[in-house]
Amino acid sequence: MTGVILAAVIGYLLGSIPFGMLLTRVAGLGDIRHIGSRSIGATNVLRTGNKVLAALTLVLDLAKGIAAVLIGSLWGADAMLAAAGAVILGHMFPVWLGFRGGKGVATALGVLLAIAWPVAVIAGALWLATAILFHYSSLAALVGAAAAVAVAAILLDPTRALLIAVIALLVILRHHENIRRLLAGTESRISLRRS
């Protein structure tokens, strides 16, 4: 039980590192929370026009998901799953930022890569295809989340499948404003072309 608690705490603290906010501040681009969606994730960093920083944010947010799972696994399967859930909560609700963080897509992908890489590959491929076809990051995230749940239910044991379903639900709930804008036709598009 101590290992599970410790893994969850470490996972939360890792998840709560706001890489997008830190990188944009270091680059002199101001506080990312004052532009676009006010999120600290890679998509909002992309709205600064700096694609390198957006890509770096994506990689670092993904890496903290992987790292939390690997650290948790040192104490066993239960601790690994606790760390996986906690790193998502840390990213979405970081204590340092008044519990207003990112939407969890990249960090969730990192968790998926560590606990069920085939699910991550399928969900990631669908995310990328949706983003390329429709240019909506939020729509791509929703498609990827739904795909992860469906694939996990087929390929995985019930415990990991349930965790993935909960993570997907959190990701979808964090996109509630995006869903409203998608339905209203006012959601902003992303550009994936090099500038």
Residue 40 confidence (pLDDT) above 90: no
pLDDT tens readout for residues 90-149: 999 999 999 999 999 999 999 999 999 999 999 999 999 999 999 998 999 999 999 999
| Per-residue pLDDT, 33 | 85
| Per-residue pLDDT, 193 | 60
Residue 167 confidence (pLDDT) above 60: yes
Mean per-residue pLDDT of the chain: 93
Tell me, what amino acid is at 107? T
- Sign, Cα dihedral of 118, 191, 193, 66: negative
Residue 195 confidence (pLDDT) above 70: no
Residue 35 confidence (pLDDT) above 90: no
Pick the closest to residue 64 from 100, 23, 10 (CA basis).
10
Pick the closest to residue 122 from 139, 147, 143, 146 (CA basis).
147
Q: Where are the domains of the chain?
A: 2-184
- Where helices occur in the chain by DSSP H, the ranges are 2-15, 19-26, 42-46, 51-72, 77-92, 105-115, 117-134, 137-155, 158-174, 176-184
Give residues with Cβ within 8 angstroms of 56, minimum separation 6: 19, 23
Q: How many residues does the chain have?
A: 195
Q: Between helices 51-72 and 105-115, what is the axis angle to 10°?
A: 40
Query: 194 or 70: which carries more pLDDT confidence?
Result: 70
pLDDT tens readout for residues 15-30: 999 999 999 999 888 8
Residue 192 confidence (pLDDT) above 70: no
